[in-house]
Structure formats: structure tokens, C-alpha cells
Amino acid sequence: MRRFLLVLLVAIGCATTVAASGITFSTGQSDYTVQVGGEALFPIAVENTLGTDTMGVLIREVRFVPEGDDGSSPAGESQSRKITIFRDTTEITASAGPAAVPGTFFFNIAFEYGNAPRTRIALPEIRVHVVSSASEETDQQNRQVSSVSSVSTQAGSGGASSSSSSKQPGQISQDMGSLQEQAAREQDRMQTLRSALLAGLEDDPVVKEIHAVLTSHGYTRATMTIDPIGEDGGTFVFEYRGGTGDTVRAGGVVKNGTAAYAAYATGTSLVVPDAVATNDTYKQYAVELADAGFFPAASSMNATPGAAFVGVGFTDGENRTARIIATLIGGEVQRVDLEEPFDFMWLAGVGTLCIILAIAYLVRRGAPKTPEPLALPVPCDPSSVALQLLDEARRQFDRGDRKEAYGTAGRALRSYVSSAYGTGAELADGEVLRLLEESDREAGMVSSILEQCAAVSYAGSPPRDEGFQAVIRTIEAIVRQG
């Protein structure tokens, strides 16, 4: 692909702007320049203050006048397509494709939306000058333009594309126009899916539960990212901002049109439901940890259709970690558990012992006749702790401690993910899923296993032999395959 240089001409006067009924289109200037072979395009800044996603028709008319032509019969094209201006849309791009010969593209951009009578906003004419070299400059200057808005009783073209042009030098090729139309249709399809997913999420109980907790702590939703997968699924990330400028990202997965889970994790302590912070058992555990030198360092929440799991992480001066986990159903605390610090000092002791034994062996053996490369100690496999925890889960299940067995199995999976893709610290379910997503790893299977473990360990679902064995086998497969 040939590279092109987009050079902005000096802007004189005000920026080109058009506004109506809360939607604003604007450009930094009315003249742009591009070299031959580059793409004739320019950005359009968008501001939507209506407070809602707005569907409408974007109308783009473009004509090209080759250099030296009197402009009496320019090559032209008109295109209309449906788009959605989302609440967080900030920019769209107008393009006429590659510029083949020197000349000037003249753009007229408009947007129509609303029910009859429809509202129409239109930018004044924008020019893109095609030059032979970067050193060339045009004598075109920006001029101050006024906003143009009107009410139209016509619905526009309703998204159909049409073109009327004559084949002249410099005209955009039909093949390129066809590809652009296909890309535009795909973009429209994705925007329609995003709008449908977002509309469902606004009323989804799982998302509303997370939203209520964050807003109760002074956070407001600032941005939204919706990525459709198929017709009724996808992922979402909502960014919330606090009064001090800190941010919390809440994300999740949509399956069959509803949120399978929504979770957030933050380094700010006690961003948790009030029902947890005021719970007597939680306060008792928090006091015990404080007496042992621990202080709160992080919090997280993972909401599912059946229950919500809230975790508050604690640490001490020796970087040991502990965690209090609360299970909520219908907004009320059903259970609070304390995961006490897991002492990894024995692992360091084993490593030291191995080194001492290796040195002793070499001393007894004596120096070899032929120098041999020194065998460096092999770092601990991230799966070792997880496999030991799985063995402990089996023993718990065999002696009848079945709820504890599911809890230990879930902890084994969290431990492995944290060690393999993170720092090895204790993580909540939501933090584990977020870590997998940030590492570009598939989180679906892990999410399902953690939900099964939590359903028995915290929510009180009946444990079953075949279910437990399936959970153990799946976690083992995840750990061993790495």
C-alpha cells in the first residue's frame, strides 16, 4: 500500500461546524491537502449531547475536478447510508478513496435523523486538494462559515446507496467504491448489533447490580465499549470515573442476549456493597486481620444471574495476602468466608535445600575431568501449587467436606491463572477473568468452572460426585496444558 502524507493547510477564521438538536459535526478547517496516490479523507468531530444513541442517514456527496479543468463536467458520486451516532461517538471519517491525479475533491456532508419532520444537519463544503508533491501548497484558504441546519420532510434515501458519475480521469474506481460500500454495510451491521446489546445491558439485572454499587461510591459511567460476537452475544467494558480522577473498569460477557456475568476489580479498598461492609461476620474477620498486621488493599465484585461474589483483598508488610469473600443473593449477604494467608515460605525452603544438596553432591563428586556446563536451578512451575491444591480438594471430598472441596478446587484454578499470567497474588473470580482477557486468553471455560465451584461452595447448590470429578479433570487439563 502506498504511503501518503496528509498535510493540513493553515486555518484562517473559525472551524467548520454544524449543530442541531444536540448533535454537532465539526472539522478543524475547510481545506485539506493530500499527495497523489494517498487517500482523500478528513476527520469529522462528533458531539452527541442528546443522551441517547441516535440512528439516522449519513449523506455524502463528492465531486472531483482535475487540475486545469474548468469544472463544467466534474466526476461525482452521491452515497447515503444508515449509521448510529452513539452517546460516546467522538469521530467519524469522510473519504473518497485514493487520489489518482492532481485536482480537488469537493465534499458535502449531511446527517438526517428523527421522525417526520426529520432534522437535517449539514457541513459547509469541504475541499481536499490533491498535489503532486509534499512541497506544493495551494492558495486556497479557509473561510469562516456558519452552521447550517434545517427540518426536512423527506426521509432521505433510507440507507440505499446510489451513484451518478461519468468516467473521467481522476474518478474513483467502481471497484473501490464497491469495497467501501461493503465495508460501510458491515459497519452499519455492527453498529446495529452494538445498539441492541447496549439496550439489553441497560436493563440487565446483573449489570444494574454492578452499576448500583459503583455509583453509590461516587463513580459515574464515562465510556462504553461493546464488541458483538454473533447476533445475541459479545463482550462489554464500562469505564467508571470517581471524583478524584481514579477509574474502575467493569466488564463482562453477554450470552443469549443477557449478561452471563459482570465484574470489576479495583485497587481502592471497600468499593463493595453496603450490605457487605456492615455485615457483622465481615467486620469480625476484618478486625482479626487488622490485629495480625493486615490492611485492605483491593476489592472486587463478580455478579452472575444466580449470585454475586464480593472479595476484599488484604496484605501485610511481608507481602502475604488474605481475602474475605462474601456471597450475596438478592442483595443480601448469605455467607462470608475468610481465606487465610497461604504461606509460600516452604517453597523457598525447598528451593534452598535443593541448592544445598546440589552443592554437596558436586563437592563429593569432585571436579570433573572435562568441564561441564553448570545446571541452573529450574524455577518453580506455576502449576505445582495448583496441583497440590487439587490433591487437597480430592481428600476433602473423600472425607465428606464437599463444599470445602469445591472451594479448594476453585482456589486451585485461581492460583494457577494468577501464577501463569499475573503476579501470583490471591485473586477474586472477576479478577481472574479480567486477567485472562488482558492476556488474550479464552476465559469461557474458566468462568464456567469458577461459577460451578462458587455455586456449591458459597451459594449452597448440592454437590454431586460426577460434577466434582468433571470439575477436577477440567482444571487439571487447563493446568497441565498451560
What gap in Å lies between CA 108 and CA 27, rounded to an integer? 12
What gap in Å lies between CA 334 and CA 310, rounded to an integer? 11
- Using CA of residue 33, residue 96, residue 68, residue 35, what is the dihedral sign? positive
Query: Both 248 and 316 in a single domain?
Result: yes
Mean pLDDT in consecutive groups of 10 residues from the start of the chain, 482 residues: 38 42 82 84 86 84 82 69 83 81 89 80 90 61 46 44 42 54 73 84 91 91 82 85 84 86 78 92 91 86 88 83 88 87 49 59 51 43 81 90 88 88 79 82 80 72 74 85 69
Query: Both 18 and 154 in a single domain?
Result: yes
What gap in Å lies between CA 444 and CA 145, rounded to an integer? 53
What gap in Å lies between CA 255 and CA 265, rounded to an integer? 22
Question: For position 345, what pLDDT does the model report?
Answer: 43
Question: For position 183, what pLDDT does the model report?
Answer: 66
The edge-to-edge listing of strands for the beta sheet with 16-20 is: 16-20, 23-27, 39-48, 91-98
Query: Both 155 and 219 in a single domain?
Result: no
Q: Contact 14/24 with Cβ under 8 angstroms?
A: no
Reading the block at residue 186, the C-alpha cell is 458491515
Asked if residue 278 belongs to a domain, the reply is yes
What is each CA distance from 255 to 261, 262, 453, 481, in whole angstroms?
A: 9, 12, 20, 27
Question: For position 421, what pLDDT does the model report?
Answer: 85
- Using CA of residue 345, residue 351, residue 354, residue 358, what is the dihedral sign? negative
Radius of gyration of the chain (CA): 31
Query: Both 375 and 471 in a single domain?
Result: yes
Query: How far, in whole angstroms, is CA 96 from its chain's centroid?
Result: 31
Query: Both 151 and 100 in a single domain?
Result: yes
The CATH number given to whatever domain includes residue 465 is 1.20.120
What gap in Å lies between CA 418 and CA 420, rounded to an integer? 6
Conformation bin of residue 451: beta by default, left when phi > 0, alpha when psi is -120 to 50: alpha
- Please say which residue of 308, 339, 370 terminates a domain: 339
What gap in Å lies between CA 473 and CA 28, rounded to an integer? 60
Where are any strands of DSSP class E within 29-166?
31-35, 39-48, 54-66, 75-85, 91-98, 103-113, 118-122, 126-131, 148-152
Question: For position 246, what pLDDT does the model report?
Answer: 82
Q: Using N-to-C axis directions, what is the helix angle for 383-398 and 402-421, rounded to 10°?
A: 180
Query: Both 162 and 248 in a single domain?
Result: no
Asked if residue 49 belongs to a domain, the reply is yes
Asked if residue 110 belongs to a domain, the reply is yes
Query: Both 408 and 331 in a single domain?
Result: no
Query: Both 163 and 226 in a single domain?
Result: no
The CATH number given to whatever domain includes residue 42 is 2.60.40
Q: Indicate the burial class of 449 (C-beta count within 10 angstroms; 0-12, 13-18, 19 or more).
A: buried
Instruction: Of 242, 244, 252, give the one whose Cα is nearest residue 208.
Output: 252
Number of domains in the chain: 3
Query: Both 154 and 265 in a single domain?
Result: no
